[in-house]
């Protein structure tokens, strides 16, 4: 199934897929809602999913689609070079990612690979994944340098507590909480409370 907001691109993709003897196009959709409905009806083996869909993004559509039918294999398709977008698509459950600027053979290889349960990433997507894993590894090592009090502050911050609430809970000054927060961000190379929360959840420091 092809999911892309641009009719012209869908027509081009239709031709590419139509020329492949081993691939059958069973459906198309131009938005996330329609894609979810069609997926429920026909349960395609592979969905080529554009990230830049109107309304519900391709990332959210992928997440919902796979929650309903984990057997579907999704190949992300986008012109975005933002590594965060690549990682978000993969974290949503996509098996692969192809850039719209690549040739038709690259797309067909991607479809065939994910259909077999393999992972398929074009060069930039692979680099994004490697870079993300490297940064996570570095942060994990840095987290080992956090003191006991810093870990307590991090856990409470991730749980949604304000600096004043944390100060009260730990019987310390609010200014001390702020110092700990800055030190935690510096050590882990994180830049806001949202990043701290995601990190704490990923590392099992909170169930929030």
Which whole number is the average pLDDT over 53-81? 90
Residue 24 and residue 115 in contact, taking contact as beta carbons nearer than 8 Å: no
Taken as a whole, the chain contains a residue count of: 208
Q: Pick the residue with more confidence: 54 or 101?
A: 54
Strand boundaries in the chain, DSSP class E: 2-3, 28-29, 46-50, 73-78, 96-99, 120-121
CA distance 181 to 170: 14
181 in the same domain as 90:
no
Q: What is the pLDDT of residue 208?
A: 46
Residue 81 predicted with pLDDT over 50: yes
Same domain, 153 and 73: no
Q: Strand order of the sheet with strand 2-3?
A: 28-29, 2-3, 46-50, 73-78, 96-99, 120-121
| 186 and 142 co-located in one domain | yes
| Residue 122 counted as domain residue | yes
Nearest CA-CA partner of 38 in 14, 68, 6, 78: 68
| Domain identity same for 150 and 101 | no
Inform me whether the pLDDT recorded for 148 exceeds 90: no
132 lies in some domain:
no
Q: What percent of the chain has pLDDT over 90?
A: 40
Range of the domain at 61: 2-126
CATH number, domain containing residue 173: 1.10.10.10
Last residue of a domain, one of 126, 146, 172: 126
Higher pLDDT, 198 or 2: 2
Q: What is the mean pLDDT of the chain?
A: 83
- Residues 104, 153, single domain; the answer is no
pLDDT class of 15 with cuts at 50, 70, 90: very high
64-78, 106-120, 136-150, range with the lowest pLDDT? 136-150
Coil, helix or strand for 3? strand
What CATH number does the domain containing 9 carry? 3.40.50.2300
Asked whether residue 9 falls in the same domain as residue 111, the answer is: yes
Domain identity same for 15 and 118: yes
For the chain, the domain total comes to 2
Same domain, 41 and 120: yes
Q: Mark whether 76 and 157 lie in a shared domain.
A: no
Question: Rounded CA gap, 63 and 93, in Å?
Answer: 7
For residue 208, being part of any structural domain is answered with no
Q: What is the pLDDT of residues 170-203, one digit of tens each?
A: 999 999 999 988 888 888 777 887 877 777 776 6
Q: Is the pTM of this model over 0.85?
A: no
């Amino acid at each position: 199934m092809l999911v892309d907001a641009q009719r012209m691109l869908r027509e081009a993709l239709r031709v590419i897929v139509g020329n492949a003897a081993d691939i059958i196009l069973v459906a198309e959709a131009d938005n996330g809602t329609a894609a979810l409905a069609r997926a429920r009806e026909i349960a395609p083996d592979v969905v080529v999913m554009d990230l830049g869909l109107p309304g519900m993004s391709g990332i959210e559509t992928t997440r919902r689609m796979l929650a309903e039918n984990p057997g579907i294999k999704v190949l992300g398709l986008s012109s975005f070079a933002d590594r965060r977008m690549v990682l978000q698509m993969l974290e949503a459950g996509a098996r692969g990612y192809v850039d719209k600027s690549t040739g038709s053979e690259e797309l067909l290889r991607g479809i065939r690979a994910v259909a077999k349960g393999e992972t398929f990433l074009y060069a930039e997507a692979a680099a994004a994944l490697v870079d993300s894993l490297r940064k996570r590894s570095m942060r994990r090592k840095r987290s080992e340098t956090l003191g006991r009090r810093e870990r307590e502050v991090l856990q409470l911050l991730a749980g949604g507590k304000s600096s004043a609430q944390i100060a009260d809970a730990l019987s310390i000054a609010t200014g001390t909480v702020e110092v700990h927060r800055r030190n935690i961000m510096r050590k882990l190379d994180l830049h806001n409370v949202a990043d701290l929360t995601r990190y704490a959840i990923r590392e099992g420091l909170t169930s929030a």
